[in-house]
Amino acid sequence: MSGTTDRIGLRVARYRPDRDHEPGWQEYEVPMREEWTVLDGLTHVKDEVDPTLVFRWSCRMGICGSCGMNVDDEPRLTCGTFLSDYAPGPVTVEPLAHFPVVRDLVVDLSDFMEKLPTVKPWIIRDDDAVPDQEGEGDGEYLQTPEELDAYKQFSMCINCMLCYAACPVYGLDPDFVGPAAIALAERYDLDSRDHGARERLDVLIEHEGVYGCTFVGECTRVCPKHVDPAGAIQRYKLKAAQESVKAFLLPRALRR
């Protein structure tokens, strides 16, 4: 289906497990408006043309990460991807690669949700109490702007899964924990309030952790929030190498 000056074609992957043996394609035409995103085009199809089309979205503002899909073979947030950039079309829209398809453009993210807790993406403390100004009771652990800046970049992850869809390693080795999980682990390692770096390193030095990565760098390239998961993985490889040197040179009691 070819686009015209006021219309553009969408070539959309369809899969309805209750009736389809395998995924197929369906073509639509939508209005070609300068301000319309791919998500707007899909919404028009669902509202005006084919209510059976299924896709995931929420905020429309590039914050929630729900609307990630492959657009012309590139993992993108469809709420920030404009139809006009693909004129005259057609625009191919598919579910994110490397995940099981639930229906049409919706994928199952259970694998990521199961792996994420293994890297302990939360603040771990050696002590339970938070001191107040007198050193007792429940107070706050304050941070300077510089301490916040140390991990802020890695805290911007919105779990959109674009990095997983772009990662050839995850596509070949489903045991790989994946770039977003490693980036979130680094976020807490760099937090001045956290004491859990060693616990995360013990998990991520395994093959399914950072050493599964061959540093293609696609995860960082497609990240809509500039988190740089490839950089986080390289940081972890350096920490793992340093730990190996410590293990060789120092008794265990002196390594921390």
Q: Class of 110-254 per CATH?
A: mainly alpha
Residue spans of beta strands (DSSP E) within 16-63 = 24-31
Q: Give the closest residue to 94 by CA, choosing from 114, 74, 119.
A: 74
7-107 and 110-254, same CATH topology: no
Q: 């979205």: which residue's tokens?
A: 57
Domain made up of 7-107: CATH architecture:
Roll (3.10)
Q: pLDDT value at position 3?
A: 40
- Per the structure block, which two tokens stand in for 101? 């398809």
pLDDT lower than 70: segments of the chain: 1-5, 128-139, 251-256
Query: Where along the chain do its domains lie?
Result: 7-107, 110-254
* Cβ atoms of residues 153 and 146 within 8 Å: no
Per-residue pLDDT at 142: 86
Token representation of residue 187 = 């976020």
